[in-house]
Structure 1
């Protein structure tokens, strides 16, 4: 059974993704800036991957963020 922290992580991801979509949909930031936020987040984890004992977690998180970018959701919609 998943731990409470896993549920918190899923909730946080869902909330953040919804916020980024709303920011983009309401033209508060251009879509390329929203994608830039996601790329910065992924890069933070990619750079942290070699620096501590949680390297696998950081690589997995970076891969997940990159999948969101590549997923073609409304953040990437023209």
Structure 2
């Protein structure tokens, strides 16, 4: 269980590879769960925005103006 000429023995290499593979699987699973959670939140937000776009200020340009637009002559 050492190195010969700087190359790890097969048993050590397989153990290291197995550990790295397990870590990679755990990380991928964790990222997948976080991604699914974020996608669920995004879908929920999207539904709420579509149901009521004015709640977060997504009004059309014509609805933004509280007063009628003034012409140049009215401003002076």
- TM-score scaled to structure 1, two decimals? 0.35
Instruction: Please identify the structure whose Cα radius of gyration is greater.
Output: 2
If the length of structure 2 is used for normalisation, what is the TM-score? 0.36
Greater share of residues in strand: 2
